[in-house]
Chain A
Amino acid sequence: MPGPEGTAAATAARRPAAWDLPPVAANLFTTADGTPRLIGSACRACGTLAFPQQQSCPRCCGEDVTAALLPPEGTLWSWTVQRFAPKSPPYAGGEAGFSPFAVGYVALPGGIAVQGRLTGTDAPGGYRIGMAMRLVLEPFLRQDGTTVAGYAFAPAPGDSDQPAGRGQVAGDGPAAGPDDGSVAS
């Protein structure tokens, strides 16, 4: 699922299907202004941003906070690859058909870094600290058969420098959990 690209007109013409899926949770993101945006909160006293929206400020603990749409583009702070299927619950995706996926933090203007899945590369290890990233919505298949929209970050169109990461060492097949195939004792 490619992320939205190009001009607003082109985006409208190629409105990604994920935008019309029910969101994985309410009040997490919006496409109301024609591009996906995360919904965070901003402290009116000290300006600190938080995601998801919360009722008090994580920095000054003030309770005068307001909803704020976070900037949709930033740079990759760090990342890893989830090589094994997380346990369900809490993971809604299940073990069947699991493919490793990347996870990271993207530093956005305004001093906040947001955690999310990473997408938009050929291999889950194809990321680099500092690369330009942008928010996208993508379909997420739950093991109950329903599909919802989740958010993720994909390399921004301007960032063509995408060296293969060392994450490909283990391949993209089913990966062992940290406790499978124990060290013999």
Chain B
Amino acid sequence: MSPGSLAIVGAGIHPFGRNEGVSGLQMGVAAARAALADAGISWADVQFAVGGSDSAGKPDTMVSRLGLTGLPFTNVINGCATGGASLVTARAAIAAGQHEIGLVVGFDKHPRGAFDPRPEDWGLGAWYGDLGLMVTTQYFGIKIQRYMHDHAITSASLARVAAKAFRNGERNPAAWRRKPLTDEEILASPMVADPLTQYMFCSPSAGAVALVVCRPELAARFPAPPVYVRAVSMRSRRFGSFEVFSPSMPVTRGPSPSQEAAQAAYAEAGIGPGEFDVVQVQDTEAGAELMHLAECGLCEHGAQEELMRTGATELGGAMPVNTDGGCIASGEPIGASGLRQVHETVLQLRGQAGDRQVDGARTGFTHVYGAPGVSACAVLSR
């Protein structure tokens, strides 16, 4: 395994949920303070920052709360892959030798209900929104419907993914949906975008995560056990990838950005599928978790049915997936979700994940995916 080019030495989270009365920026500041305290440093020690938010304001404005130290603060916005892109940005700054210690932060806060993006922001004509096609949930329903047809995946497996998420969320104090639901309750909840029901979907929510990162050689200076970023990667879509907000697409499928980002991360890290003790993948809805596992090469296409039937992705299984409850239990604050996955992996690799700890976890993988076809992956280890 490569030595890695980045260490995570501080981690902080503001609990995810509706969080009425607290702004996204306030959550970001709270997470940043928690990460700084965890690393045992002050804001004045931070040489650069990277922040992401889609809908809750400009991250660099948090310097007015944390301190006007004059540091360079880069704002990142890449849809639901924002957190992954932020980590990629921070790694580049440290690997290039520009800085030694930085803060990566992501936060967001969204109104209730489905997202309401504007066609004009996505290069589309107003007609696309007029006719009711500008809806992310449609994409996920259409994609998993085809996937189930091609690979003999059943709705029972979709329900098992969501039930696992709520069970794991029950064990995570920072999660939002912490009440376990049975497979039957999930299947019987109202249909949102066939074949996906209400409880198979994540909901837009609020929350924040921050990480203190540094050059690996400095990691021993900090009090917490370091977690090393062995690889990070990011890819946008190629011709032939089926993505949200696409009025048309080629019939012949090409590689997905998730597939390519994962392969790049494995190549850089020198470890890959079969070698991860804990895995986090984008679970915008239950089908996305199943499809992303295969796109990332963590299982064969169609093998998910057996994985779910045997509990392989549960806590205690051979490959625990979305151990903190994922997006389904945490909701989706766009700017924070990618870093939530990394935060959870840091806790697992430190042995600080409490009731959901994967015994002896040494290696982890994270995958985040966002519109209009962006994926970022990371390989982490003790």
Contact = CB atoms under 8 A, between A and B. Distances in A.
Which one of B129, B141, B190, B195 has the greatest number of beta carbons of chain A within 10 Å? B190
Contact of A80 (B177, B194, B239): B194
Which one of B130, B133, B141, B155 has the greatest number of beta carbons of chain A within 10 Å? B130
Which one of B118, B194, B247 has the greatest number of beta carbons of chain A within 10 Å? B194
Interface in B181-210: 181, 190-199, 201, 203-204
B112 interface: yes
Contacts of A51: 247-248
A78 interface: yes
B149 A103 contact: no
Interface residues of B, number: 55
B251 A113 contact: yes
B127 A91 contact: no
Which secondary structure dominates chain A's binding surface? loop
Interface of A: 24-25, 28, 40, 48-52, 58-59, 77-84, 86-87, 89-93, 101, 103-105, 107, 111-117, 125, 129, 140, 142, 148, 150, 165-167, 169-170, 175-185
B145 A179 contact: no
Nearest to A28: B127
A111 B118 contact: no
A81 B196 CA distance: 10
B126 interface: yes
A183 B191 contact: no
A167 B252 CA distance: 27
A183 B179 contact: yes
Nearest to A176: B190
B98 to A, nearest CB: 32
Given A58-B239, A79-B145, A183-B199, 8 more contacts: A80-B141, A112-B249, A115-B133, A150-B131, A170-B197, A178-B137, A179-B113, A183-B166
Given A90-B130, A129-B145, A129-B146, A48 B250 contact: yes
B198 A176 contact: yes
Given A105-B142, A115-B133, A183-B166, A166 B190 contact: no
6 contacts: A25-B130, A90-B126, A104-B142, A115-B133, A117-B132, A166-B195
A179 B202 CA distance: 8
A140 B141 CA distance: 23
Contacts of B134: 86, 90-91
A111 B251 contact: yes
A112 B250 contact: yes
A111 B156 CA distance: 33
Contact of A181 (B119, B142, B198, B252): B198
A179 B204 contact: yes
Contacts of B129: 86, 89-92
B130 A82 contact: no
Nearest to B285: A178
